[in-house]
Structure 1
Amino acid sequence: MVVAYTKKRDGTLEELGRTETLKLNDQEFLGEGSCVLSEIVTKQGQSLTLDLHNRNGNKGLKNLGKLTVHAEETVASRNAIEVIFRCSHLDNKDLFSKSDPFLRISRIVENGGSVPICKTEVVDNNLNPIWRPLCLTMQQYVSKDNPLVIECFDFNTSGNHVLIGKLQKSVADLEKLHKQKTGASFILPSSAQHGHEKVLKGQLFVDQFCEKQLYSFIDYVSSGFEFNFMVAVDFTASNGNPRTPDSLHYIDPSGRFNAYQQAIMEVGEVIQFYDSDRRFPAWGFGGRTNDGTVSHCFNLNGSASGIEVEGVQGIMAAYASALNHVALAGPTLFGQVINNAAEIAGQSLSYNSCKYFVLLIITDGVLTDLQETKDALVRASDLPLSILIVGVGGADFKQMEILDADNGCRLESSTGRVATRDIVQFVPMREVRAGGQTSVVQALLEELPGQFLTYMRSRDIKPGAVNIAQTSASHATI
């Protein structure tokens, strides 16, 4: 029999499943192996063969055999519906302007509670909004007859969104609304002021409903699409003197990782398997380099021209070396690093549409260039790029939550341009550590596949495009 485990944040193992329901204590141990999921899905045929070894991790002289692990996606992750929602005559919840409505859709679960599965963007100052097409996979809604709760809120920047109205419909009901071209009335739940539910004038319409088969994340990866990893490290003075143990940059002689090293290793060890050459651009920002100037984007390896290092260990070595010749300074500016990453992602479009870029920014401080960073992110939202931000230390990271845009309102530039999609995921390390079993890498990478798929689908890039691009490149070389 085979038992599969996942390693939790504290290093202990949690069972995921087993091939037979037998007592482990009664069975003879034959060997064990370990890998990360990205190793499997990036292999030809999504199969990986592991050498089995003893529990102490040593293979020794005895051959304990091999185990082949195969990964495949469920059909539910491919089947989807695309809908366009519209509302009319919504109640106005704002005093000096009209409501800024958005929809949140939740699935009702067995215990009677509900789990949010998606939400629309915010439409500003509009009581008759039409939202962009929304895609729901069967994995999210489970079945066409499963009840969904659709809530309409008035967006508030404080996060205290005001409920305009709600209703309950299944996917089958939504399809019927579309075919019959009728609307469904929102209700306002009973409260202390109203002892019963109130049927509202506002209605929900389904202007478009179509079923489709989606290309999955594994479809793209298995056909040759790659993730190119980049990293940027905060060298501002607020990190503390690297030579003192209380510094966030302190390199412990015992080998215990500081927060920066932990973030680099955890994220890099997963993403590296999606990158064939494993050469990663690595920068620092906010430090005073050898020429005496403060740089907000310098090469971590100290080279004047070469920005890349070899593998995750190359990043770790360049980071440790930089601490010896770069003086911590400030302020904390993201704009230049994001622009450099965006330039690399943009250049790739001219010769290869089969790469997607991931920039990891690790920082301890409060941004000084918030608007410039917003402008850079809005421009980058059109590119094959996602940005992961890890907050270390005890600073106030409210600004990072604004950049994350998980509140349903997309970033807006200083010129009024709105981001085409959300490309940022922010995780404060202290909260992840205090919050239970979720690791930093799990929290950081949670949204990455969705951001990748949103980009590919919005540009109608299909998995087969990688083979076409590679063939064209080969012919051009010849």
Structure 2
Amino acid sequence: KICKMISESVYLILLFICIGFSKMNIVFGRTEVIENTLNPDFVRKFVLDYFFEEKQNLRFDVYNVDSRSSNISKHSFLGQTFCTLGEIIGSAGARLERTLSGIPGKKCGNIIFTAEELSNCRDIATMQLCANKLDKKDFFGKSDPFLVFYRSNEDGTFTICHKTEVIKNTLNPVWQSFTIPVRALCNGDYDRLIQPFYFLFLSHDFIGEFTTSYRELSRGQSQFNVYEVLNPKKKGRKKKYVNSGTVTLLSFKVESEYTFVDFIRGGNFQQNFICVFVCIVGNPAQPTSLHYMSPYQMNAYAMALKAVGEIIQDYDSDKLFPAYGFGAKIPPDGNVSHAFPLNSDCENANCVGIEGVLEAYYECLRTVQLYGPTNFAPVINQVADSAADVLDGSQYFVLLMITDGVISDMVQTKEAVVNASSLPMSIIIVGVGPAEFDGEYGVHSTLMIYTFILGK
């Protein structure tokens, strides 16, 4: 939380952590963007591992967001502060207030940190709410309401945990359903107080509030989940005041969020190997090619496949790996394919063990003609479709992509990665050869960039 900032604007905070003996600061995460307020209260939390025996140095930088660019140098620096994680946790009520500095001769405001130990609760709640007959706030129209959820802390204070979208020009808003971890709502304490507030957009005028708990919300749509929205100031000065509207819970659903270990313990951990071979420097018969089949040593692709495959194959029970290639013309018609089985068996692409994948790869090089472009998106989408069919925690998919650094469909690839981010699958991209791998770093940072720009 930031108090008394320089001017009413658009704010963003970056968290840096200091690592190693070199004292190098790296970006750990960034908050969402808060608009049109001098006292932004950020929803996004930073989850850090706390080590009592270590001094964990933190740096917080505050920026005014001047554009939609994800490049932080394009925005205005407003101040920074330094502290340790131990200082926050060791403060009274785990609440620490610091003064921002960094701009000579200017008061940059204050920043407030709060910390809480997370519970092991991994449930995810999805809910939708609507309101009816809210107070009219706009002089020329109705209202532009949004809803902010606060959860109570152990010291009696409240911390923001969710904010809905704004619904323009209505007194009867129906907000989109949203998903939130249960531990963000109540940290596993089902009776912990949750206090939603209604605000008017732009001026952030207060409409009213009500209180509930996770236990009450979990009852779902019922007479118990229709709440009166009350404005304490109006209630105190108006004898005939009834309420400032009502809010109704339309739906509530709880699902468990499975971890990587949960999938492994399920006994059906499945590896999906996608071998990417793109001939940029010649054909496999030429020594300059990354696919060159030397009689004396493995080529770069084979070494990468063997090195990574031998590590992750231990998590597979049957050691049968579907292996594909793409970026090649396939006999007998010479059609270009971006997902063909290395063993040439369209009915069963499984190879027995890593050695079986290597054998299929070598044999494939003798029969297909390497051909661009290198499109990653179709392969990611193919595995994502399989993962989307198994959401009960019984299977986990690993997509291994080996590339020489060129991605032809970068926009589509980033979109595919974002769409697959909620599925039980991981994507491992291994680069081989001397090429620059800027594209792969772009894919790696896609989720953070999309979160910053689009708010996904």
Under TM normalisation by the shorter chain, which class is it?
0.5 to 0.7
- 1:135 matches 2:44: no
Partner of 1:71: none
- 1:209 matches 2:116: yes
Partner of 2:338: 296
Secondary structure class of the residue paired with 2:399: strand
Shift of 1:259: 1.3
Partner of 1:106: 17
Secondary structure class of the residue paired with 1:135: coil
Partner of 1:356: 396
Shift of 1:227: 4.5
CA distance in 2: counterparts of 1:369 and 1:232, whole angstroms: 17
- 1:282 matches 2:194: no
Shift of 1:411: 6.4
Distance change (3 Å), C-alpha of 1:206 and 1:245: same
Which of 186, 192, 212 is equivalent to 2:100? Answer: 186
Q: Write out aligned runs for 1:257-336 (5 A).
A: 257-290=298-331, 291-336=333-378
- 1:119 matches 2:159: no
| Contact 1:282 1:307 (C-alpha < 8 Å) held by counterparts | yes
Shift of 1:159: 6.8
Percent identity reads: 29
CA distance in 2: counterparts of 1:178 and 1:117, whole angstroms: 28
Distance change (3 Å), C-alpha of 1:116 and 1:355: farther
Residue deviations 1:279-300 (CA, integer Å, cap 9, x gap)? 1121111111113210111111
Q: Write out aligned runs for 1:22-421 (5 A).
A: 86-88=1-3, 101-107=12-18, 114=23, 116=25, 119-124=28-33, 126=35, 128=40, 130-138=42-50, 142-143=51-52, 146-152=55-61, 154=63, 157-158=70-71, 160=73, 164-175=78-89, 179=93, 183-188=97-102, 200-207=107-114, 209-212=116-119, 220=262, 223-224=265-266, 227-254=269-296, 256-290=297-331, 291-349=333-391, 352-405=392-445, 408-410=448-450, 416=454, 418=456
Shift of 1:406: 7.8
Residue deviations 1:296-315 (CA, integer Å, cap 9, x gap)? 11111111221221111111
CA distance in 2: counterparts of 1:386 and 1:304, whole angstroms: 24
Residue deviations 1:1-60 (CA, integer Å, cap 9, x gap)? xxxxxxxxxxxxxxxxxxxxxxxxxxxxxxxxxxxxxxxxxxxxxxxxxxxxxxxxxxxx
Distance change (3 Å), C-alpha of 1:143 and 1:347: same
Residue deviations 1:164-221 (CA, integer Å, cap 9, x gap)? 43323333432366837663222228xxxx5xxx774243323552354699989648
| Contact 1:230 1:282 (C-alpha < 8 Å) held by counterparts | yes
Partner of 2:205: none
For residue 399 of structure 1, what is the amino acid of its counterpart? Answer: G
For residue 206 of structure 1, what is the amino acid of its counterpart? Answer: F
CA distance in 2: counterparts of 1:318 and 1:411, whole angstroms: 40
Distance change (3 Å), C-alpha of 1:411 and 1:339: farther
CA distance in 2: counterparts of 1:287 and 1:412, whole angstroms: 37
Secondary structure class of the residue paired with 2:388: helix
Distance change (3 Å), C-alpha of 1:201 and 1:226: farther
| Contact 2:88 2:115 (C-alpha < 8 Å) held by counterparts | no
Distance change (3 Å), C-alpha of 1:145 and 1:363: closer
For residue 79 of structure 2, what is the amino acid of its counterpart? Answer: G
Partner of 1:45: none
Gaps of 5+ in 2: 123-257
Shift of 1:250: 0.6
CA distance in 1: counterparts of 2:56 and 2:119, whole angstroms: 20
Shift of 1:146: 2.8
CA distance in 1: counterparts of 2:273 and 2:13, whole angstroms: 34
Distance change (3 Å), C-alpha of 1:320 and 1:134: same
Partner of 2:173: none
Distance change (3 Å), C-alpha of 1:340 and 1:166: same
| Contact 2:279 2:291 (C-alpha < 8 Å) held by counterparts | no
Of Structure 1 and Structure 2, which has the larger fraction of its residues in helix?
A: 1
Secondary structure class of the residue paired with 1:146: coil
Q: Aligned residues, how many?
A: 312
Distance change (3 Å), C-alpha of 1:251 and 1:89: farther
Instruction: State the Cα RMSD in Å.
Output: 3.7
Q: Which one is further off, 151-160 or 241-250?
A: 151-160
CA distance in 1: counterparts of 2:434 and 2:375, whole angstroms: 18
Shift of 1:223: 3.8
Distance change (3 Å), C-alpha of 1:330 and 1:169: same
Q: Which one is further off, 198-207 or 359-368?
A: 198-207
Which structure has the larger Rg over C-alpha atoms? 2
Residue deviations 1:392-419 (CA, integer Å, cap 9, x gap)? 2333432221111089534689xx573x
For residue 376 of structure 1, what is the amino acid of its counterpart? Answer: A
For residue 301 of structure 1, what is the amino acid of its counterpart? Answer: N
Distance change (3 Å), C-alpha of 1:222 and 1:326: closer
| Contact 1:106 1:114 (C-alpha < 8 Å) held by counterparts | no
Distance change (3 Å), C-alpha of 1:104 and 1:305: same
Gaps of 5+ in 1: 1-85, 419-478
Secondary structure class of the residue paired with 1:402: helix
Shift of 1:385: 1.3
Distance change (3 Å), C-alpha of 1:401 and 1:288: same
| Contact 2:304 2:432 (C-alpha < 8 Å) held by counterparts | no
| Contact 2:88 2:94 (C-alpha < 8 Å) held by counterparts | no
CA distance in 1: counterparts of 2:424 and 2:352, whole angstroms: 22
| Contact 1:296 1:337 (C-alpha < 8 Å) held by counterparts | yes
CA distance in 1: counterparts of 2:73 and 2:33, whole angstroms: 16
TM-score, normalisation: structure 2: 0.59
For residue 312 of structure 2, what is the amino acid of its counterpart? Answer: I
